[in-house]
Structure 1
Amino acid sequence: MLRHLFTLIWNRKRANLLLISEVFFSFVVLFGVSAVLITTAKNYLAPHGFDYEQVWRLEVRAGQGLEMPRAELDDVLRQVKALPGVQTVALTSGNMPFIFNTNNSIFRYKGKESPTTNVYDADDHYAAAMQLQLREGRWFAPTDDGSNHRPVVISQDLRESLFGDAPALGKVFTYGVPGAEIKPENEFLVTGVVENVRMSSDFNAAEPAVWLRLLPYDTTHWETANVLVRVAPGQGGELQEKIARTVAGVTRQWTTEVRVMNDDRLSKRRYTLVPVVGLSIMGLFLIVNVALGLFGVLWYNISQRRAEIGLRRAMGATGASISRQFLGEMLVVTTLGVLGGVLLAVQFPLLGAFDLPAQRYLLAIAAATVAVYVITALCAWQPSRLAAAIQPAMALREE
């Protein structure tokens, strides 16, 4: 039976080559869409590595042309922390989670170079405010004040890229610029390792991260201070007004903006979801067009092969066998197109393209294969029924 199907396909090789090409390109597009959707879904379901609930983002700005002394800023933070409903206050850098502000670099340790790494400034209270999950070591503490190197905490993925399976605590690494002068402030001492974090958006994968300790009681003058405020459950606008008034009570020249981190997350989610939705719509549009094209081609094939069908029916073939023949031909043609697509798709995990795990590519190949077979089977079902219903006398008379 299979040999007979191949013979029929070869006899109509020009028309079937067009079908195979259509199936091939459909598979490739569906493979790409599936890879993106699977990656997005897995990222969305992965843990963030920190707790963004009940965290507010406080931005304090000095007046135009002014700077805020660190001692005065620390006094403001103490007053904010003393407010009822505030649990923890932490000073950090401007690249806070879920906003369009990044700061990244590359680091080096004994010839090993890290991937692009997010760099955050953090004080001793940052871990409590964000509820980071420690895997090794500890967070910053006053005992680090006398350190000869700048204390840092790194994420697990950065630890693996720099140190592999070797111990990381107590190791010193530097910026990854070859030939750059190594200064004491650019030598980083690992004091702790935390779980991987996803601070970009709900749909982005975890990225390597390092937190550099902000030295307390330094003489730096700040133009803008970024503060994380963890509040008790149920707090809202009233506490936000109290925080703004507390900051304004220090000096009227300072301005304050309070944002809820979860609102930032939802806003970033809507922005990053747009390309995913657009790609899904493109995939759906492709599926509809492929289905219509296949349906039309099969319908045309039946009209061109009515004499063949009538002859087979006259020789005793049943309607069910005619239907199976057309379904079988279409599935064989689909298999040839899918095999070409699979040969192309398996190059992605073999070459490590886009730094995605091989498992996601394999899932995308499986999803695209199933989708193509389902589409072609559905499109071939109705035309094959029409072929089975052709009566031999009618077909031969028309011929």
Structure 2
Amino acid sequence: MLRHLFTLIWNRKRSNLLLISEIFFSFVVLFGVGAVVITTAKNYLAPHGFNYEQVWRLQVRAGQGLTMPRAELDDVLRQVKALPGVQTVALTSGNTPFIFNNNNSFFGYKDKQSPLTNVYDADDHYATAMQLQLREGRWFAPADDGSNHRPVVISQDLRESLFGNEPALGKIFTYSKPDKVTKPEDEFVVMGVVEKVRMESDFSAPISSLWKRLIPFDTTHWETANVLVRVAPGSGGLLQEKIARTVASVTRQWTTEVRVMNDERINRRRYTLVPVVGLAIIGLFLIINVALGLFGVLWYNISQRRAEIGLRRAMGATGASIGRQFLGEMMVVTTFGVLLGGLLAAQFPLLHAFDQPAQPYLLAIAAATGAVYLITALCAWQPSRLAAAIHPAVALREE
């Protein structure tokens, strides 16, 4: 039976080549959309590695042409922390979670180099404010004041890329600048390791991260200070107003802006979803057009083969066998298109394209294969029924 199907397909190779091409491109589109959707869904279901609930982002700006002495800023933060409803206050850099602000770099240890890494400044209270999950070591503490190297805490993925299976605590590494002289302030000592974090958006993959310790009571003058404030559940606008008044009480030249981190997460999620939804809509539109094209081509093929169908029926073939023949032909043609598309798609996991693991690509290949066979079967089902219903006398009389 299979050999007979191949013979029929070869005899109509010109029209079947068009069908194979349509199926191939359908597979490629479904694979691309499937890979994006599967990767996005996988990232969405993964833990963030920190707790953004009940965290506010407080941005304090000095007046135009002015700066904030660190000692005066620390005094303001102590007053904010003393407010009822405020649990923890942490000073950090401007690249807080879920906003469009990045600080990236590369790091090296011996002959190993890290991937692109997010770099954050953080004080001794940052881990408590963000509720980071420590795997090894500890967070920053006053005992680090006398350290000869810059104390840092790194994420688990950065630990794996730099140190592999070696112990990480106490190791010293630098920026990835092998052709330049390393400055003392560019040497970092690992104090702790935290779980992987996803601070870009709900749909982003974990990114290697590093937190550098902000030295307390330094002489730095700040133009803008970013503060993370963990508040008690149920805190709202009244506490925000108290925080703003507390900052303004130091000097009226400072301005204060309070943002809820969960609101920023939702805004970033909407922004990230736009291209994914757009891609899915375009893919759906293309698949619908391909399905309509397949349906039309099959319908046309049946109308052109009525004599063949009538002759087979006259020789004793049943309507069910005629229907199975047409459906079988379409499945064989589909297999050719899927094999060609699978050869192309297989290059993505083999080459680790876009720095993605193989699993999402393999799942996308499986999903695209199943979807193509399902679409083809649905398109071939009704024309196959029509072929099975043709009466031999009618078909032969028309010829």
Q: Corresponding residue for 2:22?
A: 22
Deviations 1:88-128 (CA, angstroms, capped at 9, x unpaired): 00000000000000000000100211011000000000000
5+ residue gaps in structure 1? none
Deviations 1:159-184 (CA, angstroms, capped at 9, x unpaired): 00000000000000001022222111
Q: Corresponding residue for 1:273?
A: 273
Q: Corresponding residue for 1:33?
A: 33
Aligned sequence identity (%): 84
Runs (4+) of structure 1 exceeding 4 A deviation are none
Instruction: Report deviation, 1:254.
Output: 0.2
Query: What aligned pairs does 1:140-155 form with structure 2 within 5 A after superposition?
Result: 140-155=140-155
Q: Secondary structure at the match of 1:298?
A: helix
Instruction: Report deviation, 1:360.
Output: 1.2
The total of aligned residue pairs comes to 399
Instruction: Report deviation, 1:36.
Output: 0.5
Distance in 1 separating the partners of 2:261 and 2:24:
45
Distance in 2 separating the partners of 1:181 and 1:94:
28
Q: Corresponding residue for 1:246?
A: 246
Q: Corresponding residue for 2:377?
A: 377
What amino acid is the match of 1:65?
G
What amino acid is the match of 1:358?
A
Q: Corresponding residue for 1:345?
A: 345
Distance in 2 separating the partners of 1:138 and 1:103:
23
Q: Corresponding residue for 2:192?
A: 192
What amino acid is the match of 1:349?
P
Instruction: Report deviation, 1:225.
Output: 0.2
Q: Corresponding residue for 2:69?
A: 69
Q: Secondary structure at the match of 1:102?
A: coil
Q: Corresponding residue for 1:51?
A: 51
Q: Corresponding residue for 2:294?
A: 294
TM-score by length of 2: 1.00
Instruction: Report deviation, 1:279.
Output: 0.7
Query: What aligned pairs does 1:326-341 form with structure 2 within 5 A after superposition?
Result: 326-341=326-341
Deviations 1:195-223 (CA, angstroms, capped at 9, x unpaired): 00000000000000000000000000000
Distance in 2 separating the partners of 1:116 and 1:180:
19
Query: What aligned pairs does 1:164-313 form with structure 2 within 5 A after superposition?
Result: 164-313=164-313
What amino acid is the match of 1:335?
T
Distance in 2 separating the partners of 1:146 and 1:41:
45
Instruction: Report deviation, 1:357.
Output: 1.2
Deviations 1:227-263 (CA, angstroms, capped at 9, x unpaired): 0000000000000000000000000000000000000
Distance in 2 separating the partners of 1:375 and 1:287:
9
Q: Secondary structure at the match of 1:56?
A: strand
Deviations 1:315-362 (CA, angstroms, capped at 9, x unpaired): 111110000000000000000100111111111111111111111111
Q: Secondary structure at the match of 1:96?
A: coil
Distance in 1 separating the partners of 2:360 and 2:262:
29
Distance in 2 separating the partners of 1:347 and 1:103:
32
Q: Corresponding residue for 1:320?
A: 320
Deviations 1:5-53 (CA, angstroms, capped at 9, x unpaired): 0000000000001100110111011101100000000000000000000
Q: Secondary structure at the match of 1:250?
A: coil
Instruction: Report deviation, 1:306.
Output: 0.4
Distance in 2 separating the partners of 1:135 and 1:78:
29
Distance in 2 separating the partners of 1:226 and 1:180:
32
What amino acid is the match of 1:12?
R
What amino acid is the match of 2:275?
P
Deviations 1:120-177 (CA, angstroms, capped at 9, x unpaired): 0000000000000000000000000000000000000000000000000000000102
Deviations 1:263-284 (CA, angstroms, capped at 9, x unpaired): 0000000000000000110111
5+ residue gaps in structure 2? none
TM-score by length of 1: 1.00
Root mean square deviation, CA, Å: 0.5
Q: Secondary structure at the match of 2:249?
A: helix
